[in-house]
Structure formats: C-alpha cells, structure tokens
Amino acid sequence: MADGREIIYFDETDDAVRELSDKRDLPPAHTNSQIRYDPLLDEWVAIASHRQSRTFLPPTSQCPLCPSTPDRLTEIPSSSYDVVVFENRFPSFTSSAADEPVPGDDGTLVTRRPGAGRCEVVCFTSDHNSSFAELTPARARTVVDVWADRTAALSALPFVEQVFCFENRGEEIGVTLAHPHGQIYAYPFVTPRTRRMLDSARRHRERTGENLFARVLADERAGERVVASNDNWTAFVPAFARWPFEVHLYPHRQVAGIPELSGAERDDFAAIYLDVLQRFDALFDAKMPYIAAWHQAPARVDRDLAYLHLQLFSIRREAGKLKYLAGSESGMGVFINDIPPERSAALLREATTR
C-alpha cells in the first residue's frame, strides 16, 4: 500500500484481475503501541494512543473498505475483490515494534514492552450493504480458508504468541465501519482468557484424564441447548452462557487451530455458521449486533490442551433492548444473564431462516 502496509487478495477464480498499485499519497505508517504489565491481574494492557484518530462511522460514500473507483481511492486499490486482507491503518500492535528497544526498568512493578504484533482487517465482500449472514456458502468457505492462511502465517512470526480471528458487527457493539469485515490480532502474549481456559483444561485433565472442551461438547450434544448440528459441527447455547444470546460452535474432532480443519470440516462450518447467523437475524427481524470470537491454541504452548471453537454472542436481549455491562459485570467480572440458556436455545431453534 502507499504507506508501506501489506495487502493480500484472496480470489475465488484464477483469472481475477486486480489493481495492485495504491495511488494515494499517504505518509509512511507510524504507530507508538506499547504493552504494560498489570501485576494485580497478571495481564498485559496495550496502550495505542494513535488510534484516537481512526475513522469513525463515515457515510457509505466515504467507506474506506469499498473498492476504489476512478473518483475515490480507498484502502483497496482494486475496483472489485472477493476477500481481501490488509494491515490495519490504526493497529493496536505492529510488527515494526519488534525492532524497537525494550524500555529500561523504571523501578516499578509495571513492566513496559514495545507493542510487537500485527493487526489485520479482513473484508468478506465488496458489497457494502451485505453481511456475513448473507454470504454464499462458497464465500463463507473462502473466509475460513483466509482465517487458516493468516493464522498459519502470523503464528510463524517469532514475536507472536497467539492469533485471534474475530468479527464485531453493529454500532451497538462499537463498530466504526459498517462495511462487512472482521479483524485478526496477532498478540505478543497469550491472552488472559485463553490462559484461564487452558489452566482449567490442565486441571481437568490431571483430575480426570479427559479433555475439558471435549467433555463440554459431549454434555451439550446430549442436552436441550443444541441449536443446530451437522456431520462435523455442533452449535449450542452453553449451560453457563453469560450473554442473552450466546452460541458456541465446536468441531466434533479436537484440533488446535483453524489451519488443522479438513476440507469437509471447513465446508460444514461455513454451512452451520451461516445457519446460526441467519437465526440471529431472524430472532427479532433485524440485524443482530454480535461478536464472533475464534478460540484457538497459542502459537507455541499448550496446543495439546486446546480445542478450537467459535464463541458467538450478542448484547441484544430483546427487540429494542440491549444488555449493558453494569457494576457486577464490569466491576467484578460476575455476569448476570436475564435469559435462561435453555430458553435462548429454544428461541434460536424456532427462528425462521431463509
């Protein structure tokens, strides 16, 4: 790209012609990301002040994720695309930080490090008015292949410890660009949520000899909270759901990450995921705001304990009503769910899809 960032086209045909020259006049990309250690919670916090100036809810005519036209140049130089990935212009982590000197010890417990990593944007379609739920199964499968490709490539970077593929949808969630897209974060540490889950899995294996995630899946497949299933995947509302509408999608075979999924497993994921997303939208006859978060193994540790799965959840609890994180959730991390998971699963099963 004009400022030195990388862009990658993932085309579904061999004869696609893409404009590869970014004709914009952009200054070199500059970031000042840093991570700081919180000794109270044993967690890293990213400080990225340059993100304050990122694009915020532009009109459709000014969308930076639409294809370029002769009259308006965007983040994607080509006049069309299938799926495209590029480095975020306002990243929380950046590969250039890997070459920065480590700050000296200032005598406090708050260790500081450069924010080494990488943040990428994944555009699912060139159609600004579409959504993931409206993709064809073939396009959804292409996106799965993109996640697999980028997970493998980013995991190979020496300063990356975990790769997180995700999508935020809806202004209610905090999305600042309406164009259908997701993101990929390559972290320089294993995230707190993953560490906690793997610690639980380790203790469960030591106690029982079985994989914790596999046991959760087996219990749910035999219960009343299954929303949909096929040969290779099951989608269910977990008994311990924190959010009003929360669905976990598990492959029936334990794999550590997206790259390990077989062709059939990728096909079946695309089918069941589209089904669940369409149920979300049908529930209140409106596009459901949601976060879709892939949980996969760290790049270098505990891969035998991990079990790839996707967690999908919405903050909408009823038509026109949102669940806000109040004092208990935000202050203490104790969630209070107003909808029993069994009821949530029944509503999603009853939702009419196209």
Find out whether 43 and 99 touch, Cβ atoms under 8 Å: no
Catalytic residue among 179, 181, 248, 309: 181
**Collapsing DSSP states into helix, strand and coil, what is residue 294?**
strand
The CA distance from 303 to 211, in Å, is: 12
**CA distance linking residue 125 with residue 140, whole number of Å:** 10
Contacts of 208 (CB under 8 A, 6+ apart): 215
181 noted as active-site residue: yes
Kind plus residue range of the DSSP H or E element containing 174: none
Q: How far is it, in rounded angstroms, from Cα 145 to Cα 152?
A: 11
347 three-class SS: helix
Give the residue among 311, 314, 309 at the shortest CA–CA distance from 324: 314
Q: Cα(172)–Cα(291) distance, rounded to whole angstroms?
A: 11
* Distance (Å, whole) CA 85 – CA 165: 12
Phi-psi bin for 174: left (phi > 0), alpha (psi -120 to 50), beta?
left
Closest by CA position to 212, among listed 198, 196, 223, 225: 198
**Residue given tokens 């490539």 in the structure block:** 153
Tokens of 18: 């893409």
Active-site positions read 181
